[in-house]
Amino acid sequence: MVQNLRHDDDAIGDSSTSSRDDWPGFADVFPSSKFGPRPVVVMDGGMGTTLQAPPFSQNIDSALWSSELLATSEGRETLVRLHATWVDAGAECIGSNSYQSFLPLFLPNTSSHNCTQEAREKMLSALTCITLASPEVTSSSSISSTSRGYFPVLSLGPFGAVCYPGQEYAGLYPAPFGSRETPTKIAFDVEAITLPSVPVTSDLEEDNLMAFHLQRMTDFVEAEEWNRMKLIAFETIPVVKEARAIRRAMKVFNGQLQGRDGKGKTRLPFYISFVFPLDGHGRIRYPDASMTGLPLDEQMGELVEAVFGAREGEEEVDGFGINCSNPTRIGQVIESLHKAMTASGDVAKRTRKPWLVLYPDGGAVYDVFTKAWSNPLGLTVERWASHLAENVEASLAIQLKRTGIQDDDALWGGVIAGGCCKAGPEAIRALGKELASRSLTTLA
């Protein structure tokens, strides 16, 4: 399509879908009969940073980050133990170890350094690991009356997660996925992959981002454990056009599942989550260079339109997320989000309420060049949990008049809350206790 990317002209398949109301949403995954009329669900914490800390003490520094553990049986056993640790800490949504996963990154870890099938098996094993964390509660038929079970989530990072240095917090993507001059490198050989063909638009960067995300979905749906996943999380998205690219990719992907290519695979609800780092002036801002200089409220208006705007060829999104952002400043981001949501005509017309997903970092700051952490906030896990619970509680109180929903003006259908980098099991345990103390969950 552009530059030296190869595209498979026969790969796009059927992009038609049935009505969005015909397949599951968050309310079906977390029904009110089990979670209450305004559900709050606890999520796990930071994968890679928890693996680096005791008792796991893993040395992970490759382009795959924590996904490099999928390359060995010992690594996969470690991941199963980590997933079980989150369940033990009270997390109900457990993310797969696939955030950085992209097939070309696994090729160097194969026996012949270019075995695509072996690379795919290693990558897809992330879904096997997550379903092995606590087998007795992965099927709804075996969840006891005192446990709501846990819900496996397919975790997918942005294109920036396969760049070097990582671009989750800056969004400076190299060509052909971005247009700005940048020293950022793509962490895989572009000749090692053929991306699926996608409809060509006037924005070739967005088209290539769409192809990137569609390729990953096409790979992961081949996993035997696909139907045991409950949600898809597109996380830490730093570029607004990437959100639109994801929606376009999901529209095509869901069309393939509905059509002859589905092979009995389940369509899954999904959310898109964004990152809000501090800028050079200490202000919390969205990092997309196209929004430089805009106040946060205006940035958020563009993001809400990208996620919830009704446009042909883009899938309806089930939730809006904020992740890996400063835990003491996340309230400012949520306030701007609520302003944009209540001003959006497209949000008001939705027949399904969107969900809010909140998982700030643990308060530490990471340097992508030195690969070192600092902790300027010095938050305890209790203070961290209190900050987050306050924002969950405030979000549940926001009202919005809708045309399609009667007798319930709450903006959000529910909230998923957890942690990102440097938020470990003790932080998640503290969050569960804090939410329960505020009567926001039924679990102690």
Show binding-site residues for Zn(2+).
324, 420-421
**Residue 319, helix vs strand vs coil:** strand
Q: 6 has which bridge partners? A: 194
Cα distance between the two ends of the chain: 54
Does residue 385 contact residue 433 with C-beta atoms inside 8 Å?
yes
The closest alpha carbon to 130, from 85, 96, 164, belongs to 96
In this structure, how many other beta carbons lie within 10 angstroms of the beta carbon of residue 84? 15
Does residue 272 contact residue 243 with C-beta atoms inside 8 Å?
yes
Q: What distance in Å separates the CA atoms of residue 1 and residue 419, rounded to the nearest whole number? A: 38
The closest alpha carbon to 47, from 35, 38, 37, 56, belongs to 56
Q: What distance in Å separates the CA atoms of residue 385 and residue 435, rounded to the nearest whole number? A: 8
The closest alpha carbon to 421, from 41, 45, 82, 44, belongs to 45
- Signed CA dihedral, 43, 125, 227, 14: sign only: positive
CA 129, 135, 139 angle in degrees (round to 5)? 110
Q: What distance in Å separates the CA atoms of residue 322 and residue 443, rounded to the nearest whole number? A: 24
The count of C-alpha atoms lying within 13 angstroms of the C-alpha of 198, restricted to the half-sphere facing its C-beta, is 33
Does residue 356 contact residue 328 with C-beta atoms inside 8 Å?
no
Q: Cα torsion at 195, 288, 395, 83 (round to 10°)?
A: 50
Does residue 309 contact residue 301 with C-beta atoms inside 8 Å?
no
Burial of 442 (0-12, 13-18, 19+ CB in 10 A): middle
Task: Tell me the helices (H) and strands (E) count for the chain, helix number first.
Answer: 13, 14
Per the rule left: phi > 0, alpha: psi between -120 and 50, beta: everything else, 102 is beta
Q: What separation in angstroms does the CA of 24 have from each of 30, 352, 419?
A: 10, 11, 25
As annotated, the binding site includes 324, 420-421
